[in-house]
Amino acid sequence: MNFAVISEMQKRPTATAVIIASVTLIVLLLNGYFLRQGITTVLPHLFYIPIILASYFFPRRGILFACVISVLYCVLACILAPVAFREPLSAAGRIIIFILIAAVVSFLTLRLQENERLFRGVAERSSDVILLTDPDGKAQYVSPSVKAVAGYDPEEILGRMPREFIHPDDYRILEEALPHISRGSGPVEVTLRFRKKTGDYAIVEFSASPIIDAGRVYGIQVIGRDITERRRSEDALRKSAEDHRLLADYTYDWEYWIAPDETFLYTTPSCERITGYTAEEFARDKELLKTIIYPEDNHAMDHHMIHGFTQPEPGAVDFRIIHRNGDIRWIAHVCQPIYNAQGEFIGRRASNRDITERKRMESALKETNKKLNLLSSITRHDINNQIFSLKAFLEISRESQGDPAELNTCLQKAERVTDAIERQIAFTKEYQNLGVNAPVWQAVSAAVKSAANALPLRDIRIIDEIGDLEIYADPLFEKVFYNLIDNALRYGGPEMSAIRFFSQESGQELVIAVEDDGASISPEDRQRLFERGFGKHTGLGLFLSREILAITGITITETGHPGRGARFEIIVPKGTWRRIMNNETK
């Protein structure tokens, strides 16, 4: 019998009683007719039908109903049956069987009803939706909680197919799950959007299991849990995590979280810009950081790491690393311990900033201050000496008033001293801008062109073969090329026709050569060429050029050969030069 029919009969007891009474009457009439014909062995079994129905639908009256049926059957048999069939033992046996059947069915029905009450109590108190369906998925029972979840009364769901309530985009999931369950293959869990009575959708997590009896699937049990709020919370949490990850991934500094065992739990992608190594490489190799630390800084970093994993306060250290391309980079490292809600140490959070440029500036500033202090001291000493000489000549002049020749000699010497003081003052004017501004990256060819344009070249050609190069130097760097071109124009002689600029790599260094085809520099002069005051003019140009370059560790020497013109070589160390390719440095 269909469960829906049984359920409907249970809801209509009066109609059910009428049906049972009708069946009983039909059976009595049939038995009366056949008893009159003398047939008593088969027809009495038909009484089992109304007895079972009455005991099932009215279990507390089942035995009484069986007794009434027994009395009616006995009366009917006594009245209608021939004398040969009026046997008391046979009638008593049938009465006992009727009553036993009624008792067994009533007992089982009461137990079933008790279990059903327990099930309904659980189902109706559950916040989850509980459904029982036929093998095709048509709803046979729906728990009242469907009202809270979707706004429907259970009666509005009964007899309907799940497809009527599922979001069209989820049909495929449903169609894949139903055949699987109908075959009895096992429980299936799916998440579907279930249409509410209001028209919007709840996100429901369904767990469906086949109901199997004797190897046959005769229904499906479904438990549905509304996870709309949970899904919203998960989505919000996921978005928050994605936002935080996005924020962390786009930090300019290199950030990481290192576990107590020194493995990298998280590293920002900026590590690749600073070190040349990807976040995945740091995650795979916890020794990578130690590997790239500059050897001379290993001791300081080891001490910091030991302190970092044994002390609760933040720590900081500056150290150098070797970039993947071989460059030396300075890192400003700050880290602090991380503790979970239970107060357990779960690692350290570190921030690493590339301070290579700052370190270069600090080094250049220190070098500049040292040179300025030295030159200020020398200049002050030289001017004091010249003033002392000037005073001496003035004293001699006063004593030589009667000797015009000697007076004239003293005045000439005093004039030369005055010229020397003037040159010293001119030198301080040139030198006062040295190191005032921080070193910057400068295009070499642009500096050559600017210096050449500031001088009267006449018919001298400037050959620029430098290429796309930048060097890290004091902003007065252009003055170096100005002085070199000026020297060539002054001392190259009438045979000079060109000044050539070119560059070449020498290991990890860059050599910028400046050569002309004029007069060469003698070996004797070469030894003193960069000394302050040496030369036929002010004696300051090449000296100042050397000082400008030295601020960022660049050196200059004269390497020409006799009869082949002058040749100056500017040696630029690694890290202070770079090539420009398509507006990017390499």
Tokens of 114: 């008790």
Tokens of 486: 């000026």
pLDDT of residue 380: 63
What is the β-pairing status of strands 461-465 and 498-506?
parallel
Residue 329 contacts residue 275 (beta carbons within 8 Å): yes
> Measured on CA atoms in the order 190, 195, 196, 201, is the torsion positive or negative?
positive
pLDDT per residue as tens digits for the range 135-180: 888 888 888 889 988 999 988 999 899 889 999 999 888 888 888 8
Q: How much is the mean pLDDT over the chain?
A: 82
Q: What burial letters (b/e) apply to 300-329, b meaning 16+ CB within 10 Å? A: ebeebbeebbeeeeebebebbbbbeeeeeb
pLDDT of residue 288: 92
Cα–Cα distance measured from residue 491 to residue 568, given in angstroms and rounded to the nearest whole number: 14
pLDDT of residue 36: 75
Using 50, 70 and 90 to split pLDDT, how confident is the model at 536?
low
Tokens of 437: 């501004």
Cα–Cα distance measured from residue 372 to residue 550, given in angstroms and rounded to the nearest whole number: 12
Share of the chain above pLDDT 70, in %: 85
pLDDT of residue 278: 93
pLDDT of residue 271: 92
Tokens of 339: 């503790």
Cα–Cα distance measured from residue 578 to residue 469, given in angstroms and rounded to the nearest whole number: 6
pTM score, whole prediction: 0.46
User: Is residue 118 predicted with pLDDT exceeding 90?
Assistant: no
Residue 62 contacts residue 104 (beta carbons within 8 Å): no
Using 50, 70 and 90 to split pLDDT, how confident is the model at 102?
confident
pLDDT of residue 1: 44
The CA dihedral of 75, 80, 85, 90, to the nearest 10 degrees, is: -20
pLDDT of residue 84: 43
Nearest in space to 449 (alpha carbons), one of 459, 437, 464: 464
**Other C-beta atoms lying within 10 Å of the C-beta of residue 381:** 10
Nearest in space to 478 (alpha carbons), one of 522, 454, 505, 447: 447
Cα–Cα distance measured from residue 119 to residue 143, given in angstroms and rounded to the nearest whole number: 10
431: left (phi over 0), alpha (psi -120 to 50) or beta: alpha
User: Is residue 313 predicted with pLDDT exceeding 70?
Assistant: yes
pLDDT per residue as tens digits for the range 464-499: 999 899 999 888 888 899 889 988 888 888 889 999
pLDDT of residue 537: 53
pLDDT of residue 152: 92
> Measured on CA atoms in the order 323, 328, 330, 336, is the torsion positive or negative?
positive
156 CB burial (10 A radius; 0-12, 13-18, 19+): middle
Residue 323 contacts residue 276 (beta carbons within 8 Å): yes
The Cα-based distances of 101 to 74, 116, 118, 565 in angstroms read: 17, 22, 26, 132
Nearest in space to 451 (alpha carbons), one of 387, 492, 383, 499: 499
pLDDT per residue as tens digits for the range 420-451: 677 666 656 656 666 567 788 999 999 999 88
Give the largest CA-CA distance in the chain. Answer: 194
User: Is residue 117 predicted with pLDDT exceeding 90?
Assistant: no
Instruction: Return the beta strands (E) in 457-585 as ranges.
Output: 461-465, 469-473, 498-506, 509-516, 555-558, 567-572, 577-581, 584-585
Residue 528 contacts residue 454 (beta carbons within 8 Å): no
User: Is residue 406 predicted with pLDDT exceeding 90?
Assistant: no
Using 50, 70 and 90 to split pLDDT, how confident is the model at 584?
very low
Mean pLDDT of 28-37: 79
